Amino acid sequence: MKTYRVIAKDNLEAGQHTWTKGLDYEVVEKTDYFTLASNEGSLNYFNEVKNAVLENFKVTEVN
């Protein structure tokens, strides 16, 4: 498992989840998917879309 922090590059929306430009959020990578924290909770994505999703964020801290 890999955990790191990302900062939203813009205000973003995906369904009922939102991310605020400039705020940081946690990403937790698992074997087949990753979890991205949002203002409302968290959202799971399959790894196949990881690059497309994370292009909207700047990685700041990797553990």
Contact by Cβ (8 Å): 52, 3: no
Strand bridging mode 2-8 / 24-29 = antiparallel
What confidence tens digit (pLDDT) does each residue in 7-30 have? 999 999 999 999 999 999 999 999
What confidence tens digit (pLDDT) does each residue in 28-45 have? 999 999 999 999 999 999
Domain residue spans of the chain: 2-62
2-62 has which CATH code? 2.30.30
Residue 42 DSSP SS3: strand
| pTM for this predicted structure | 0.92
